[in-house]
Amino acid sequence: MHDKTLVELARALDAGEFSSRELTQHLLGRIDRLDGELNSFITVTFDQALAAADEADAARAKGNAGPLTGLPLALKDIFCTRGVKTSCGSKMLDSFVSPYDASVVEKLRAAGTVSLGKTNMDEFAMGSSNENSHYGPVHNPWDLTAVPGGSSGGSAAAVAAGLVPAAMGTDTGGSIRQPAAFCGITGLKPTYGRVSRYGIIAYASSLDQAGPMAHSAEDCALLLGAIAGHDLRDSTCVARGVPNYSEELAAPLNGLKIGLPSEYFGDGLDPAVEKATREAIAVFESLGASVREVSLPHTHYAIPAYYVIAPAEASSNLSRFDGVRFGHRCDNPVDLIDLYKRSRAEGFGDEVKRRILIGTHTLSEGFFDAYYKKAQQVRRLIRQDFLDAFEEVDVLMGPASPTPAFDLGANKDPVSMYLQDIYTIAVNLAGIPGISVPAGFVGSRPVGLQILGSHFTEARLLNVAHQFQQATDWHRRRPAFAEENA
Amino acid sequence: MQWETVIGLEVHVQLATRSKIFSGASTAFGAEPNTQACAVDLGLPGVLPVLNEAAVAMAVQFGLAIHAEIPEISVFDRKNYFYPDLPKGYQTSQMYHPIVGAGEVEITLDDGSTKRIRVHHAHLEEDAGKSLHEDFHGMTGVDLNRAGTPLLEIVSEPDLRSAKEAAAYLKAIHSIVTYLGISDGNMAEGSMRCDVNVSVRPRGQEAYGTRAEIKNVNSFRFVERAIAFEVERQVELIEDGGKVVQETRLFDPDRDETRSMRTKEEANDYRYFPCPDLLPVVLDQAYVDHLRSNLPELPAEKRARFEQELGLSAYDASLLSATREMADFFEEAKNVCGDAKQAANWVQGELSGALNRESLPIADSPVSARQLGELIARVIDDTINGKAAKQVFQALWNGQGASADDIIEAQGLKQVTDSGAIESMIDQVIAESPGQVAQYRDAEPDKRGKMIGYFVGQVMKASRGTANPQQVNQLLKEKLDALC
């Protein structure tokens, strides 16, 4: 059961091959046996999962099953989940049990999905390796000595290892696409405003976006249809119709115009990753697409601009963690300042503190214009680069990451870690959607192909990715870890 | 040396929306602590603000009322600082692009003259919760019911030159917001609070002196007292060779003084930046025009109409238009009785006196505007005389009758205008007062006028106050002179 895609599992449930309870029990058993080595879950909600599975089975018996009814999945521990610990990977929220559901969680619940639990992540979604978690690093199921990527590393590893067929992630600078690439799965970051952010613990509000992580584009289409759409509780969530993403998957790619940004194939790109990427692009040519080189001239400003804007927003978003109402509070504070200082010093990890400091500095009087304002101007230029490119081509393609998954502990320097996101980060600044699909291997470690489209073209991206997956089987490969321990 | 005081006010007005500015929680005052704070108000992880359109409409109405420019686009910013009653660690406010641009407010001074005070801008923001320092055994309690209540902060230019002007400005703002119905204006419940910027400079000097900001002054009287103290403090300081430092001070009404809270060096760097959770507010012309066309008559317009159309004095017009309740009461009484001057006299005289004695707001007056109007009508049509009218008013106040007519009837206060009846009372008084009649007769004709008072008093007494005084005078004179 655990090597099937969501769509296959839905068919099997419909056919009565097994029940949601049996499927859920099977996966919970795998989590129990295998996750000790992976550490992909922070919280496993055994009882709630079985109860939800029983409800789903009952609904199916009455003929009330929707396309997602009874399908198990996992939630990155950044989604507030009623009655369940929601830690955001931080000691600060180790004791926080959310009293409400995020919009995404509500919608997935309403669709009849069965959540198995909350997945590990870099603390407050700040990181590219999942090594910044208070709950310890996650191991990549393709190679346990490698990182799974971050910040949605737990979600990516859990799906790749067959602990769960799909998981929800969030992507602020690449946090869905890069771990999807590292773990050989499919991960979609929707257009900013496509999915409600209500109930997602904010890292950088103008960049954060939730999206599905699964084996196939077809699965992602199914999940995106369930979570997308207007939400009155999020002013930045756009009131715009949600297409049936699954219906548009089958369109042929004849005449598709693909642009390859020259900046995404330059210095710093691992030659083996480049080779896999170019081979994947050749597949599209064989499917009738044309390829041309394009330029995104402000690409090299994306990381500096991001590391001004994201920490600035984070420094403010994380101010609410002050030890007063919820979350970690230091023992025996002598006064208010002591309460603030020690609660925050003890509750936050190093990377979070680093970004709060950067953000606090860049917003300070006398620095605001030079940093924050300038970064916003750069952001507009980066967005314009993409809009210009999409005048010429339908989609952009390139590697999701300059290298395959690196070894745990290999990237000690924060700046070299930040450079991991060089191909993903500009996408968040521009607000456009992007998807990473499995496109080969370097040794045992997967390579991801990133496909980008203009705002609200998720249906097109999923279609393009799906057609690629009809022609290749990279997304069907499973790590030995998942099989040997079956 | 002659000193000039320079004052600017930042007035925070709680807007009378039913729910909070960024959440659906109720804004009602006085609930049990923390029962009116939802997930958004508590700043729980993951929550997001959604702007309350009613707060926007109210802010725009205020802008229109002070003839301000209403920018097409305004933006919410975050003001970052830590405090336990500020749940998110930032206050959502408007720093760079406020919803209301420059405007002006007309104030009326004690001598009836008016002065225009420029408003720099007004912006929307959320109120914080309350820290409660008593009853927690050395700890601090936090009540977040107030957190997220919409505030309109109205920032004046430094155009005010005295404590009296500052109080008049505050009253003018109070009057505008209550007229518009965008705030209950209840200062005791904190619906209007104000920060006062005060500096002094030698008269004739153009450059401003260094200012001190006095925080959270929450009554008209405290504003005057805080400024009076602060001006004296600053002048003394400078005359003793010292220098005013830029700082934030707190007014202590119990000790009638201001105290330093923090100096400029200790001031927070609020790290303002645009709130990424809220979209810019875009107001199209049609929306603004719609609000404009629905504005009620405002105090200044009402004052002008009272003067020009109703012929009231500037003083009366200003007093009667000071609050919407007062103006509405006056206008109803006027409409019922048909005489603006009489209505103005009664509202400001008998009614205001009685209200003041019992410290009642006009909204709680035991005598309604209709009752008062009917009473005045009976004076105008000579049904009762002035003395009886006061008795009727007192009876209405005490709830001794439903209308002036009922009381006049029940107490027999109807004025006697029948000459025959008055003449017979006069005859009787003359018959019973031979000594006074003799004195009258013996007096020089030009002294007789004064002597007639005695007879008038006797006749009025005999009529239990109901005889028409003019008639009594006239007939008495005729009868007494006939005896001479």
Q: Do residues B41 and B23 touch, judged by C-beta distance below 8 A? A: yes
Looking at the predicted structure, is the pLDDT value of residue A178 above 70?
Answer: yes
Q: How confident is the model over A382-399, as a mean pLDDT?
A: 98
A343 catalytic per annotation: no
Looking at the predicted structure, is the pLDDT value of residue B360 above 90?
Answer: yes
pLDDT for B140-160, tens place per residue? 899 999 999 999 999 999 999
pLDDT for B440-461, tens place per residue? 888 887 777 778 888 888 888 8
CA–CA separation, B338 and B359 (whole Å):
29
Distance from CA of B81 to the nearest CA of A (A): 8
Chain B residues with CB under 8 Å of A320 CB are 43, 45, 87-89
Chain B residues with CB under 8 Å of A101 CB are none
Long-range contacts of residues A467-473, Cβ cutoff 8 Å, at least 24 apart? A467/A249, A467/A251, A467/A252, A467/A253, A467/A287, A468/A217, A468/A280, A468/A283, A468/A284, A468/A287, A468/A437, A468/A439, A469/A186, A469/A216, A469/A217, A469/A218, A469/A437, A471/A283, A471/A286, A471/A287, A472/A280, A472/A283, A472/A439
Searching chain B, which residue's CA lies closest to the CA of residue A93? B45
Chain A residues with CB under 8 Å of B47 CB are 198-199
Backbone angles phi, psi at A431, to 5 degrees: 80, 10
CA–CA separation, A483 and A24 (whole Å):
18
Looking at the predicted structure, is the pLDDT value of residue B329 above 70?
Answer: yes
Looking at the predicted structure, is the pLDDT value of residue A486 above 60?
Answer: no
Q: Where are the alpha helices (DSSP H) in B215-312?
A: 220-239, 285-293, 299-308
Q: Which position among A175, A216, A246, A454 bears the catalytic label?
A: A175
A151 catalytic per annotation: yes
Searching chain B, which residue's CA lies closest to the CA of residue A326? B44
The CATH code belonging to domain A6-257+456-484 is 3.90.1300.10
Searching chain B, which residue's CA lies closest to the CA of residue A205? B276
Which residues neighbour A427 within 8 Å (Cβ) at sequence distance 6 or greater? Answer: A174, A177, A189, A433, A434, A452
Neighbours of A319 (CB within 10 A): 23
Tell if the CB–CB gap between A312 and B45 is shorter than 8 Å.
no
CA–CA separation, B43 and A99 (whole Å):
12
Searching chain A, which residue's CA lies closest to the CA of residue B88? A320
- The answer, for A202 touching chain B at a CB cutoff of 8 Å, is yes
Distance from CA of B239 to the nearest CA of A (A): 35
Tell if the CB–CB gap between B46 and A364 is shorter than 8 Å.
no
Tell if the CB–CB gap between A365 and B269 is shorter than 8 Å.
yes
Chain A residues with CB under 8 Å of B87 CB are 320, 324-325
- Residues listed for chain B: 484
- My answer on whether omega of the bond before B199 falls inside 30° of 0, hence cis, is no
Residue of higher predicted confidence among A30 and B218: A30
CA–CA separation, B350 and A223 (whole Å):
75
Chain B residues with CB under 8 Å of A358 CB are none
Whole-number percent of chain A with pLDDT over 70: 99
pLDDT recorded at residue B139: 83
Searching chain B, which residue's CA lies closest to the CA of residue A201? B46
Structure letter (DSSP) for residue B296: P
Return the minimum-mean-pLDDT range out of A247-261, B137-151, B364-378.
B137-151
Tell if the CB–CB gap between A235 and B279 is shorter than 8 Å.
yes
pLDDT band at B483 (very low <50, low <70, confident <90, very high): confident
Distance from CA of A320 to the nearest CA of B (A): 4
One DSSP character per residue, B319-338 reads HHTSSHHHHHHHHHHHHHHS
Neighbours of B436 (CB within 10 A): 16
Distances (CA, A) of B49 to A236, A390, B38: 10, 33, 11
Tell if the CB–CB gap between A365 and B80 is shorter than 8 Å.
no
pLDDT recorded at residue A484: 59
pLDDT band at A37 (very low <50, low <70, confident <90, very high): very high
Tell if the CB–CB gap between B46 and A201 is shorter than 8 Å.
yes
Searching chain A, which residue's CA lies closest to the CA of residue B143? A325
pLDDT recorded at residue B446: 79
The amino acid present at B208, given as its one-letter code, is: Y
Q: Which residues pair with B132 in a beta bridge?
A: B141
Looking at the predicted structure, is the pLDDT value of residue A322 above 90?
Answer: yes
pLDDT band at A68 (very low <50, low <70, confident <90, very high): very high
- The answer, for A234 touching chain B at a CB cutoff of 8 Å, is yes
The CATH code belonging to domain B419-483 is 1.10.10.410
CA–CA separation, B393 and B416 (whole Å):
19
Searching chain A, which residue's CA lies closest to the CA of residue B274? A313
Distance from CA of A473 to the nearest CA of B (A): 38
pLDDT for B60-105, tens place per residue? 999 999 999 999 999 999 999 999 999 999 999 999 999 999 999 9
pLDDT for A81-109, tens place per residue? 999 999 999 999 999 999 999 999 999 99
CA–CA separation, A309 and A377 (whole Å):
11
Of B39, B142, B276, the CB nearest to A313: B276
Long-range contacts of residues B282-285, Cβ cutoff 8 Å, at least 24 apart? B282/B72, B282/B73, B283/B56, B283/B60, B283/B70, B283/B71, B283/B72, B283/B73, B283/B74, B283/B99, B284/B72
CA–CA separation, B122 and B118 (whole Å):
11
Name the average pLDDT for chain B: 92
Q: Do residues A190 and A228 touch, judged by C-beta distance below 8 A? A: yes
CA–CA separation, A341 and B92 (whole Å):
23
Return the minimum-mean-pLDDT range out of B114-128, B254-268, B395-409.
B254-268
Q: Where are the beta strands (DSSP E) in A172-268?
A: 186-189, 209-214, 257-261
Domain limits of chain A? 6-257+456-484
Looking at the predicted structure, is the pLDDT value of residue B265 above 80?
Answer: no
One DSSP character per residue, A125-177 reads G--SSSTT-TT-PPPBTTBTTB---SSSHHHHHHHHTTS-SEEEEEESSSTTH
Distances (CA, A) of B69 to B20, B158, B285, B373: 25, 19, 12, 41
Tell if the CB–CB gap between A98 and B88 is shorter than 8 Å.
no
Of B48, B87, B277, the CB nearest to A320: B87
Tell if the CB–CB gap between B47 and A198 is shorter than 8 Å.
yes
ipTM of the complex: 0.96
A76 catalytic per annotation: yes
Return the minimum-mean-pLDDT range out of A253-257, A281-285, B249-253.
B249-253
Whole-number percent of chain B with pLDDT over 90: 70
Q: Where are the alpha helices (DSSP H) in B157-284?
A: 163-180, 220-239
Of A205, A325, A365, the CB nearest to B276: A205
CA–CA separation, A398 and A401 (whole Å):
9
Tell if the CB–CB gap between A319 and B88 is shorter than 8 Å.
yes
Of B48, B78, B88, the CB nearest to A233: B48
Instruction: State how far Cα A224 lies from the chain centre.
Output: 13
Q: Which position among A20, A40, A76, A107 bears the catalytic label?
A: A76
Q: Which position among A40, A87, A151, A216 bears the catalytic label?
A: A151
Looking at the predicted structure, is the pLDDT value of residue B37 above 90?
Answer: yes
pLDDT recorded at residue B111: 81
- The answer, for A201 touching chain B at a CB cutoff of 8 Å, is yes
Taking one residue from A and the other from B, the number of pairs with CB-CB distance under 8 angstroms is 99
Tell if the CB–CB gap between A363 and B80 is shorter than 8 Å.
yes
Q: Which residues pair with A189 in a beta bridge?
A: A434
Q: Which residues pair with B195 in a beta bridge?
A: B10
pLDDT for A155-172, tens place per residue? 999 999 999 999 999 999
Looking at the predicted structure, is the pLDDT value of residue B362 above 60?
Answer: yes
Looking at the predicted structure, is the pLDDT value of residue A358 above 70?
Answer: yes
Q: Name the residue with tokens 């099937």.
A: A4
Distance from CA of B89 to the nearest CA of A (A): 5
